Chain A
Amino acid sequence: MTENTKIAIKIDHVSKLFHRQKQRTFKELIPALIGGEKAVETFWALQDINLEIKKGETLGIIGPNGSGKSTLLKLIAGVSKPTKGSITVNGRVAPLIELGAGFHPELTGRENVFLNGVILGMSRKEIKAKFQEIVDFAELWDFIDQPVKHYSSGMYLRLAFAVAIHTEPEILLVDEILAVGDASFQEKCFKKIEELKNNGVTIVMVSHSMPSVQKYCQRVAYINFSNLVAIGDTKEVCAKYQADIMNK
């Protein structure tokens, strides 16, 4: 194996500049322009991040709110482009960020499974083959032909999670979603993630929960004020983060 094939994600001197547009309407923009106000305000959400994630590795990303964790995840998912530097991703990425974004309330569970599955990069044929497995996982046998607007929020999330987890991702991006459903369903999700992990899936997990980071991650990256503060052994980095919180 060459060096290249062992790396799932290579983040090379990545910086992200955000343009915060203050005026969203002409009514706001025109007086601002006349008044000589700047139309956009900029700030660096990430600065010079270097990170290599190996295939099959589970990496945790921790840090306070607004530190740039989710931005980094968006860059890996490819929805946002880095201002400087480059990101190389080898493999199919399935994001578990804000689950169910592709669901439409008027459509039935069945229709939404196909819609979301295709959005996540599966073909209709693959979804058909996995359909029963998805419904079984979500435990929604009696409701699958109901419009999802009649679902409880727990049912909704269960179905969304079931679709995302069955896309056979090579790289799974997890953003604080492990609060899905009740305790028994959570247990099932963790088991499934564990299973994917054992199958060699690369997992990048953003979390505020130290116990789950410590339980799953081999390595942890700690981001604060847009910078990568520390990367390395889970215990050490988590300890450093907790010490920083205490000292604040």
Chain B
Amino acid sequence: MNETTRPLKTLLLATLLLVIGACTEEVDIELDTSYARLVVDGQITTDTTIHYVKLTKTMDYFANRPAETVSGAEVRINNHLLTESQSTPGLYLTEPGFYGEVGKKYHLTITDVDINNDGSSEFYHASDSIHSIARADSIDLVYQEFAGGQMKMWAIQLYAQDPPEENYYLFKVHKNDTLVTDTIDEYVFQEDITFNGNYVPGVMVQSLEKSKQDETVRHGDVITLETNGISQEYYKYIIEVTNESGASNPLFSGPRANVRTNVKGGGNAVGFFRAFSINRISLRVNDPYEKVTRF
């Protein structure tokens, strides 16, 4: 439900701030520092491809540079050993023929790392399961204008049957095989608590903004909607990352709190090892303005 109400809250807040004339400015704040923690960013999906696990360390909040990588670790997914990339240190890769299967649980283990520099190596582990997700019947592309044309975008509308069990959806969009929604805050995620088991009758699940060069839709483009079936744990992780990496305000935000992690062991690790299923459905655009809705 978080997802459903967020845009409303944002708009309400925007209206309010506009009316009373709020301003934002950069300020200097001195922050304390803390010890380095292992950062895990890894995933396994149902695609047959090279899957990755990226290991880095946390750093000072105002470090303002790329994170320090963690090399030389022994990284395994269900006992398959990953090899560290020659070109990108800290990036550990599977064989190209590797794939995950729906219903299976995947375990990540990391050894031979010494994040706390105490001379002895630490052991970390994480696990996640792959969930199935509704296969889309079809998708639609609808050009929409909001606020009298101040906001212009293409909505990708989904037609699908939501299965009877609890589902957690994650939607991403590709344009001509390039992932357009490439950061976590551009993902759209939704639990099915309010529509469990219903037919999804053409609901907007992703969008492409006209104001962004790489998202503008033209004749002949192939738009692909990627639907991921994710675990409840990863769903909550995404919500928390979205909240904690974005702005907060006294009206709608709860107290700041660390984002969860499924990485256990060792000192104190952060990040997430995720396993999910992937469904894709594409359409070739003939006329980007064939269907138009104005709000």
Decide whether A and B are members of one complex: no
